[in-house]
Structure 1
Amino acid sequence: MKIADMNWMQIEEYLKTDDRVVVPLGSVEQHAYLSMAVDMILAEKVAVDAAEPLGIPVYPAIPFGITPYFAGFAGTITLNVNTYTALIRDILDSLKRSGFKRIVLVNGHGGNQPAQSAAAEWMLANPEVKVRFYNWWNAPKTLAKVREIDPTSSHASWMENLPWTRLAHANSPDQRKPAIDYQRYGVMNTQESKEYLGDGNFGGWYQRSAEEELEMWNIAVQETRDILEGPWC
């Protein structure tokens, strides 16, 4: 259930019987022909879909993350690493004050990895609270299904081209893009990156069938739900 659909009294009542909560982590950045908010949309949706049967509240996704490599693309917002990790610590402090003791950060963006280190460091000072950092898109079963369908799938490919992220006014090509050279890309500045990536897709099919999309998504939801259920010690 979404925190947006609850009031503070309902949260207080929930905390009498359960102390789990989910915070999705996103990013606003280029995704080729898809929404700029892909990472935010998918992190929140997979969290909500996974948590709903368990009755666990899910916060709105944190929209902004760490994405300096896309800074050359119009509309991208990137946070300083220190800003981002400070934000994560403030969020964890707030959740602890409310009474949450088991917290899952469902991450939708690779650049947000510093949040994992920040959470681990935070737990040193708060050993009574468990924090789990979870990348939904590269969890073992989900990634295996993605690779089964298209081994070169990556950023802005079909695995992110879902009904909730595609734009009616911007159709994706019906083709497969060669995978980028990650070694070259890793040392490019923002302008070089933009020129090299072209539309922004890192490689793979731009779109696949609705059946393949749903099959992958159902695996991702179940795998996320398993994380919420534990183990917690």
Structure 2
Amino acid sequence: MKIADMNWLQVEEYLKSDDRAVVPLGSTEQHAYLSNSVDSILAEAISTEAAAPLGVAVFPVLAFGITPYFANHPGSISLRMDTYGAIITDILDSLWSTGFRRVLFVNGHGGNTPGQTAALEWLNDHVEARIRWHNWWNAPKTLAKVHAIDPVASHASWMENFPITRLPNIGMPDTQKPMVDLDKLKTIAAPLVKDYLGDGNFGGRYQRTDDEMQAIWDVAIAETRALIEDGWA
């Protein structure tokens, strides 16, 4: 149930019987040959599909996140940590003020993790609320499925190459890129990161079959849906 497809009167009626909300979190950043909005596209699509049979409200994706390492890649936008924390807090304040009490953040970008700390700090002053933070791509069952298909998987590699994140008329290299040194990546500034990464893939093949990607998607949807549905007490 997408908030974008509802008016405020319908949301008010929804809140009479349900206080759950799903908030997808993404980023706008380089993903090699894939869309710059990969993280946002996937977080919102997973949230919407997982919540649909449950009739739970899904908000539009927060399309900007924390990604300072890609500051020199054109088209990437990074928020400061304090800015991002304030946004998460403002979102929760707004949801609380209108009657939402259970919130699942479906996060599609690892750099957004400081937002979880902001949410926990907010929770300390709202003891009746329940918050879950779900990194959908590395949740236990989803990540296990990824590794079962191909353990060499990373940022901008095949594991993010779904039909909905591909761009028209953009070909993919038919190779397996060696993994970059992630420890080194954490020690260099954005201009050096751009030179070091080359096309932006951290390592691994660029594309696998649609059947394999659908298998991962099915696990991710089921794992996310279970969090929306159960165990809020």
Q: 2: CA distance between counterparts of 1:132 and 1:20?
A: 11
In the other structure, the counterpart of 2:17 is 17
In the other structure, the counterpart of 1:224 is 224
Q: 2: CA distance between counterparts of 1:121 and 1:230?
A: 23
State whether residues 108 and 137 of structure 1, in contact with CA within 8 Å, keep that contact through their aligned partners in structure 2: yes
Equivalent position SS for 1:125: coil
Pair 1:49 & 2:62 matched: no
Equivalent position SS for 2:89: helix
Report how far residue 230 of structure 1 moved: 2.3
Report how far residue 176 of structure 1 moved: 1.1
In the other structure, the counterpart of 1:36 is 36
Q: 1: CA distance between counterparts of 2:148 and 2:72?
A: 32
| AA matched with 1:193 | V
Pair 1:138 & 2:134 matched: no
In the other structure, the counterpart of 1:61 is 61
In the other structure, the counterpart of 1:149 is 149
Report how far residue 159 of structure 1 moved: 1.2
How many residue pairs get aligned? The number is 233
Pair 1:110 & 2:106 matched: no
In the other structure, the counterpart of 2:179 is 179
1:145-224 map, 5 Å: 145-224=145-224
In the other structure, the counterpart of 1:92 is 92
State whether residues 104 and 228 of structure 1, in contact with CA within 8 Å, keep that contact through their aligned partners in structure 2: yes
In the other structure, the counterpart of 1:81 is 81
Q: 1: CA distance between counterparts of 2:64 and 2:179?
A: 26
State whether residues 150 and 205 of structure 1, in contact with CA within 8 Å, keep that contact through their aligned partners in structure 2: no
Report how far residue 205 of structure 1 moved: 1.2
Report how far residue 183 of structure 1 moved: 1.3
Report how far residue 131 of structure 1 moved: 1.0
State whether residues 180 and 203 of structure 1, in contact with CA within 8 Å, keep that contact through their aligned partners in structure 2: yes
Q: 2: CA distance between counterparts of 1:54 and 1:171?
A: 38
Q: Deviations over 1:11-36 (max 9, x none)?
A: 11111111101110000000000000
Alignment RMSD? 0.7
Report how far residue 191 of structure 1 moved: 1.1
Q: 1: CA distance between counterparts of 2:183 and 2:57?
A: 40
State whether residues 25 and 43 of structure 1, in contact with CA within 8 Å, keep that contact through their aligned partners in structure 2: yes
Higher alpha-carbon deviation: 91-100 or 162-171: 162-171
Q: 2: CA distance between counterparts of 1:96 and 1:230?
A: 20
| AA matched with 1:152 | V
| AA matched with 2:101 | K
Q: 1: CA distance between counterparts of 2:66 and 2:169?
A: 28
Equivalent position SS for 1:169: coil
Q: Deviations over 1:97-134 (max 9, x none)?
A: 11001000100000000111000110000111111111
Q: TM-score, normalised by structure 1?
A: 0.98
| AA matched with 1:120 | L
